[in-house]
Amino acid sequence: MPISKDIPGAGIFGCAGLALSDEERRFFAAVNPLGFILFARNIDHPAQVRRLVDDLRACIGRADAPVLIDQEGGRVQRLRPPHWRKAPPGTAFSQLADRAPDKAAEALRLNFRLIGRELAELGIDVDCAPVLDVPVPGAHDVIGDRAYGHTPPQVAALGQAVCDGLLDEGILPVIKHIPGHGRAMVDSHLALPVVQTGLAELEACDFAPFRTLADQPWAMTAHVVYTAIDDSAPATISATVIRDIIRTAIGFHGVLVSDDLSMQALGGDFAHRTAAALAAGCDVVLHCNGNMSEMQAVASALRPLTALACDRIARAAAQKRTPSDFDRVAAAAYVESLLA
Q: Which positions are catalytic? A: 189, 259
Distance, first Cα to last Cα, the chain: 52
Q: For residues 261 and 223, what is the distance between their CA atoms, to the nearest angstrom?
A: 9
Distances (CA, A) of 236 to 220, 257, 324: 9, 9, 37
Question: Among residues 293, 288, 255, which one has the least CA distance to residue 271?
Answer: 293
Give the DSSP letter string of 300-320: HH--BPPHHHHHHHHHHHTT-
Number of H helices, E strands in the chain: 12, 12
Q: Which residues pair with 27 in a beta bridge?
A: none
Strands (E), the chain: 9-13, 33-38, 67-69, 71-73, 76-77, 126-127, 172-178, 194-195, 218-221, 225-226, 255-260, 284-287
**Residue 55 contacts residue 19 (beta carbons within 8 Å):** yes
The CB density around residue 252, as the number of other CB atoms within 10 Å, is 23
Which residues fall within 8 angstroms of residue 184, CB to CB, at 6 or more apart?
139, 140, 142, 143, 193, 195, 222, 224
Which residues fall within 8 angstroms of residue 47, CB to CB, at 6 or more apart?
none
**Residue 181 contacts residue 222 (beta carbons within 8 Å):** yes
How buried is 340 (Cβ within 10 angstroms: 0-12 exposed, 13-18 middle, 19+ buried)?
exposed
Q: For residues 71 and 115, what is the distance between their CA atoms, to the nearest angstrom?
A: 8
Question: Among residues 53, 140, 14, 100, which one has the least CA distance to residue 337?
Answer: 100
**Residue 263 contacts residue 286 (beta carbons within 8 Å):** no
